[in-house]
Amino acid sequence: MHGADTDGRVVAAACTIAIDDLPDGLIVTDRYGCVLAVNRAAARLTGVTMERAVGRHMSDVFPFRDHDGRDWWKALDPEGGLRIRSRAPERPLHLPGGQELYVAARLVREPERGGEVERVTITLRDGGARARLERSRADLVSTVAHELRSPLTSVKGFTATMLAKWSRFTDEQKRVMLETVNNDADRVTRLITELLDVSRIESGRLEVRRQVVDLPARVRRLIAGRVAAGESEERFRLLVDDDLPEMWLDQDKVDQILGNLVENALRHGRGTVTIEIESVGWGVAVSVRDEGEGIEPELAPRVFRQFWRGGNSRRRGGTGLGLFIVKGLVEAHGGTIAVQRAPEGGAEFRFTVPTGTPDFATP
């Protein structure tokens, strides 16, 4: 059996390890504001180490202020207020250097209901990361509004015109207008599908329904569809290993991955679009490359971010979500994807997915 002091040290060590494992910053004080512990995440966020903070008052080492310059600890007042009060909601606060953090607190009472405050636990989150997320969401709303406005305006305009002047139009004019409405409706449907995919990827709710998939057959089907839509058959080249392993993949999502990569190559590249399927050590690799200008190495890390558009892509349309979705779909299969310069000088997107039985392959 350990003695009381030894037991205390063991418990303290265990608590130190536990709070250092937390992804968010954590500060623990007594009821008077004397700092008892600071985890590594809090030290990283504030620049104040545990050695410097422990034993000192909260306001001296962590002088958080709200947007009006008020002292947050003084406003928290752990010793005052109602005895049923147990927490302070998360809010943005600033340190003297201007750094913004999202701070919340819990008042630990003994007994839990109506007792005296024994200690205060304070959590810290990076305000910059939150701001980037909020900007990303604002960009998403802006992009959606912009992309929806054009097709919906067209749909509304043509349908209103046909309803008001139906008898004045020839059958050919009606057919052209209905085809335009149909194409714009398809565009809205694609955008909504992209938004749903983004939501599922970001929330981790993307489901993969595996079955045996013939990858070369899916690529041939994709190429046939593009040729039927007006692309030259000479624009495409398919290279396939002779002995590919059995692949358990989500067929719809694989079609989406291949479709987005080929669409990207056709829109932003030039020359022949080459799709190569080959066996690798732990799975199958698929490369889609073009003969265009390619992507500069310093831009490669940005390609799979939301709203990334290279070159003149903004003029050529698109939401900038396609490659972000491709990356999410590949990773949902347990695979990886990267972009590099193709041998012909264009861009080469190469993704690898594992092979095996459904149980083995499911991430």
- Identify which of 18, 28, 29, 103 has the alpha carbon closest to the alpha carbon of residue 66: 103
- Any idea where the domains of the chain sit in the sequence? 25-127, 131-203, 211-354
Annotation: CATH topology of 211-354: Heat Shock Protein 90 (3.30.565)
So what's the pLDDT on residue 9?
44
Q: Which sign, positive or negative, has the C-alpha torsion 43, 47, 48, 50?
A: positive
| First-to-final CA distance of the chain | 45
Left (φ > 0), alpha (ψ -120 to 50) or beta: where does 257 sit?
alpha
So what's the pLDDT on residue 30?
94
So what's the pLDDT on residue 15?
47
Amino acid letter, residue 282: W
In CATH, the number for domain 131-203 is 1.10.287.130
So what's the pLDDT on residue 307?
67
3-state secondary structure of 70: coil
Q: Which sign, positive or negative, has the C-alpha torsion 176, 178, 179, 183?
A: positive
What is the spatial distance between Cα 314 and Cα 158, in angstroms, rounded to a whole number? Answer: 26
So what's the pLDDT on residue 18?
74
Choose which CATH entry (3.90.1150.10, 3.30.450.20, 3.30.428.10, 3.30.365.10) describes domain 25-127.
3.30.450.20
Task: Give mean pLDDT in consecutive 10-residue pieces for the chain, a chain of 363 residues.
Answer: 41 58 92 94 92 94 91 91 86 86 93 89 83 68 72 88 90 90 84 78 80 93 90 92 89 91 87 92 91 80 74 51 88 91 86 74 45
